[in-house]
Structure 1
Amino acid sequence: MTLQSLWKQLHHRPHRSIRGLTLAEVLISVITAGIVIGGAGYGLAAITAANRTEDARAERRMEMSRALEFISDEVKTARGIARDPAGELAVQSPSFSLPSGAQLLLVINTSRASESIVYYLAPPPANSVLQGPQVLYRWGPAFDATGNYSNANTPTNWASRPLLDLVANTAGTGTCETTNQTQIPTNNADRRGLFICLDTDGDTQQGRLASLQLSSNINRVIGGNERLNLNTQAFARNSSSGSGGGGLPPGLLNPANNGDLTPPDDVSLRFQVLGGAIQCGTRDVPVTTNLEFTDPDGNRTTATINQNNPLNKDPGTVARVRVESISNLRQVNCGNNITISTGPNRPNSNNFRVLKNGDSIPNFIPFNNQASIDVFLRPILGADGRVRIRDNQLIYLFELGTTSQNSSAFDMQDNVVLVTVNPEQTQP
């Protein structure tokens, strides 16, 4: 066979027909491709969402840890934490007002500031960038560039500042030991995203070892909200022992001094006016509270305090303190002023009383339906009616309307002054 004949045979062989895809096959192909692409897209979205959730979780845990660490550091430098924060708030932090709807958590007593530091939870303000549902706030002194308090002795200038946002509305699953710990708040139903377990150590007013239980929420991209729980412990290392151990130093209230204070040189003092009521007829009588200080060199100075302006004295600056109250009757055209002062050989020494922790309040009927003594002492009175202050505190009561104990005006609630002894030395 020649090449020419072979080419003709191949050239004239019938061709097979080329058949295209049917519509069903096209649809199946499209659907299959869509499933594959969709699955890959969902997987990519899930991976991205998981990464974002993990980033949010890590960031949230870091913010929670920082907040707990901040509180712990402040507790470590404190003397103690109030077991009944609401009961001690008016006395330990008179310059602070708890906002409506807020939950009080910590009242931290520290020797580094003139009033106790307060932590509380509250919903975020309207039109705020804060998200809530709860925000952890701190009321206390500001910090300088070195981390020290910059306005420790001017609590009227302290401000409430948010420490942590996105705190949960309900507490986590943690619990306090009912026999060895005090829970703040005491009622489980009142617990929000932060509550405290305060160890019992024999001090009925304040504890030192606190377990902080914090809960927060994050919004996951896929799967809704997620609860995060974190807890830590903090121990108040700055004790209130002072030169005389716990409570008031020996010799501070020598009976021979008749109410004058003679503090050792290693303690500081804080003086606060809690209130009082004195009237002449229907007119309120202004009251002046003076403190006469004698320094170790024998020099004397006088300072005036009121409810809005407590006074602090550093260790080693005071050898003796005289407490004086004056009813300014002349200002209301009601006779001559009456001055009652502590100190030996002072007249009308029955017109003042000094109360310590556990003492009963004097039983006097208030004059002219005025508020009674227990009204001014209510924040620091126990259920048994006795004074419930710390062992390093004492109360002065003054009668300024009359010097006659037989008079109906003799009610011993004209001026109420709180003195807190804050030893400088600390224990590790």
Structure 2
Amino acid sequence: MKPHTFWKQLQHRRCSTQGLTLVETLIAVVVAGIVIGGAGYGLAAITAANRTEDARTERRMEMSRALEFISDEVKSARGIARDPAGELTVQSPSFSLPSGAQLLMVVNTPRASESIVYYLAPPPTNSVWQGPQVLYRWGPAFDAAGNYSNSTTPTAWTGRPLLDLVANTPGAATCDTTNQTQIPANSANRRGFFICLDTDGDTQQGRLASLQLSSTFNRVIGGNERLNLNTQAFARNSSSGSGGGGLPPGLLNPSNNGDLTPPDDVSLRFQVLGGAIQCGTRDVPVTTDLYLTAPGATTATKVTLNPNSPLNQPPGTVERVRVESIARLSSVSCGSNFTISTGPGRPNSNNFRVLKNGDSVPNFVPYNNQASLDTFLRPILGADGRVRIRDNQVIYLFELGTTNTGSAAFDMQDNVVLVTVNPEQTQP
């Protein structure tokens, strides 16, 4: 073969085996990108959907556990307060509602010395709990067996988070206002947890409750999602009384004429509920003094109650308490002060009464259009007009205007004092 012929064939072969053109390469890159991008998006979407479903399932389980916990606690209770704010100071005097919190449930249980409280509040700053609202429970703690471990020491109870991510607004469910009491009463104040309490003739508390819970969680794609759950709970404990463990034997011995003689294993809490006495058109200041006798002491120490702040007396610090109420008439230029005191040999014992759970409220007409006695007792009155307090509480009523029981001024509502007894030893 001639040399020039060989070189021509070689050049022809080189042209026939050349690579893709630039256009072909670009088309291949675009097609591959579309295929890989589509596959990647599909994989990401599947992963996001799986993560969202996992989050939804976990949130629903947490909501279900919270509702189941509340339902179990209600089942062993006597009832739920229809007016939580109105009964809080009597049924749970050791509890203080945190600032910005919404009170929802006061659960009257016979297994603890005070009622259990549920409320909503924003999570604390820098907390692991997420908002907008957190559902809290204030009540006794639990031991390893699931029983209350400190049921008789409410001063040791703390508000513990039960569920976070509770919505700021309620779900679509509503209460039947004809047959149910809605808590909170104002629909505009409802948040992600509210209660529909069946009407059963008891104006103080109800037993059948519909618990409405609404929560949110973050989806991986698409923002927040709301979940709504509800359940019903029935307070099954129908035993008499209102819980609290009862009064210790001998605390109110009739021979003591109203004095308290507590054993050394109980604490005492004293609280002024209210009262009204006038001289003409002038309101008369009233003072409540406690004379506390320590174990082994021969003299008592006087402590004046602050009408705006309860007084707690630890166990083992007193063996006798005398309750004294004074109308400060001299401060409004209406004569000498008027004093009524409990205790043996004290005069005018008709001028005070001691009421326990189930007692009838004395039917006195208030003098000079003053507030009636049931005005101060309304938070603790049952539908039958009887006192509905816990079994470990007593109420003192004082008449401070006259000793004449036939007088129109004798109305037994000049001073109303509540005493709560909390046994400190753990009950079996």
TM-score (norm 1): 0.68
**In 2: Cα distance, 1:335 partner to 1:263 partner:** 36
Contact map agreement 2:353 2:397 (CA 8 A) in 1: yes
* 1:240-255 pair list within 5 angstroms: 246-255=245-254
Identify if the C-alpha distance between structure 1 residues 413 and 112 changes in structure 2 by more than 3 Å, giving closer, same or farther. Answer: same
Q: Does 1:320 align with 2:320?
A: yes
**Contact residue 81 and residue 108 of structure 2 kept, 8 A:** no
| Alignment partners' CA distance in 1, 2:349 and 2:417 | 16
* Partner residue in 1 for 2:308: 308
Letter in 1 for 2:424: E
Partner Cα separation in structure 2 for residue 316 and residue 172 of structure 1: 53
User: What displacement does 1:326 show?
Assistant: 0.3
Query: Retained in 2: the 8 A contact 1:171–1:191?
Result: no
Amino acid in the other structure paired with 1:220: R
Contact persistence 2:100–2:122 (CA under 8 A): no
Larger mean Cα displacement after TM superposition, 286-295 or 104-113:
104-113
State the partner residue of 2:238: none
1:11 equivalenced with 2:10 (yes/no): no
Query: Is the Cα–Cα contact under 8 Å of residues 153 and 312 in structure 1 kept in the other structure?
Result: no
Residue equivalent to 1:281:
280
Query: Which deviations, in whole Å up to 9, do the C-alpha atoms of 1:149-183 show, x marking residues without a partner?
Result: xxx8799xx9x99886521344799xxxxxxxx99
Equivalent residue, structure 1, for 2:263:
264
Give the match for residue 143 of structure 1: none
**Deviation per residue, 1:353-396 (Å, 9 max, x gap):** 11111111111111121111111111111112111101111110
1:15 is paired with a residue whose SS is helix
Contact 2:204 2:381 in 1 (8 A): no
Structure 1 counterpart of 2:269, one-letter code: R
Secondary structure of 1:291's partner? strand
Q: Would the aligned equivalents of 1:111 and 1:422 in 2 still touch at CA under 8 Å?
A: no
Q: How has the CA–CA distance of structure 1 residues 97 and 280 changed in structure 2, closer, same or farther, with 3 Å as cutoff? A: farther
User: Map of 1:49-128 to 2, 5 A cutoff?
Assistant: 49=48, 83-84=81-82, 85-92=84-91, 96=96, 102-106=102-106, 118-121=117-120
Percent identity for Structure 1 against Structure 2: 72
Q: Match of 2:349? A: 349
AA at the equivalent of 1:294? T
**Rounded Cα–Cα distance in structure 1 between residues aligned with 2:282 and 2:319:** 39
Q: Which moved more, 1:332-341 or 1:56-65?
A: 56-65
SS of alignment partner, residue 344 of structure 2: coil
Distance of 1:306 and 1:404 partners within structure 2: 29
Following TM superposition, by how much is the alpha carbon of 1:337 offset from its aligned partner in structure 2, in angstroms? 0.5
**Rounded Cα–Cα distance in structure 1 between residues aligned with 2:325 and 2:276:** 13
Residues 1:138 and 1:247: Cα distance change in structure 2 (over 3 Å) = closer
The aligned runs of 1:209-224 (5 Å cut-off) are 216-224=215-223
Residue 240 of structure 2: aligned partner: none
The residue aligned with 1:242 is none
The aligned counterpart of 1:236 is: none
- Over the aligned positions, Cα root-mean-square deviation in angstroms equals 5.3
Judged with a 3 Å threshold, the aligned counterparts in structure 2 of structure 1 residues 279 and 124 are, in CA distance, closer, same or farther, namely farther
Measure the CA separation in 2 of the matches of 1:361 and 1:80.
22
Deviations 1:11-52 (A, max 9, x none): 344937669979996785455233223224424644774687
Secondary structure of the residue aligned to 1:395 is: strand
1:418 deviation in Å?
0.5
Matched residue, 2:419: 419
**1:123/1:246 CA distance change after superposition, 3 Å:** closer
Deviations 1:317-348 (A, max 9, x none): 22221111000000111111000011122111
The residue aligned with 2:135 is: 136
Number of residue-to-residue matches in the alignment:
385
Could you tell me which runs of 5 or more consecutive residues in structure 1 were left unpaired when the two chains were aligned. 141-147, 174-181, 199-203, 232-244
Which residue identity does 1:258 align to in structure 2? Answer: N
Corresponding residue of 1:394:
394
Change (3 A) 1:391 1:26: same
Amino acid at match of 2:32: A
**1: CA distance, partners of 2:386 / 2:98:** 26
Asked if 1:290 corresponds to 2:300, the answer is no
Amino acid in structure 2 at the alignment position of 1:317: T
Secondary structure (helix, strand or coil) at the match of 1:422 reads strand
Q: Which residue pairs with 1:337 in the alignment?
A: 337
SS in 1 for 2:330: helix
What does residue 369 of structure 2 align with?
369
Q: Distance in 2 between matches of 1:301 and 1:67?
A: 49
Cα deviation 1:300-332 (Å, max 9, x = unaligned): 333111322222222232222111100000011
Q: Secondary structure at the match of 2:382?
A: coil
Tell me how far 1:88 sits from its aligned partner.
Answer: 2.0
Change (3 A) 1:100 1:196: same
What is the TM-score with the length of structure 2 in the denominator? 0.68
Distance (Å, rounded) in 2 between the aligned partners of 1:87 and 1:376: 11
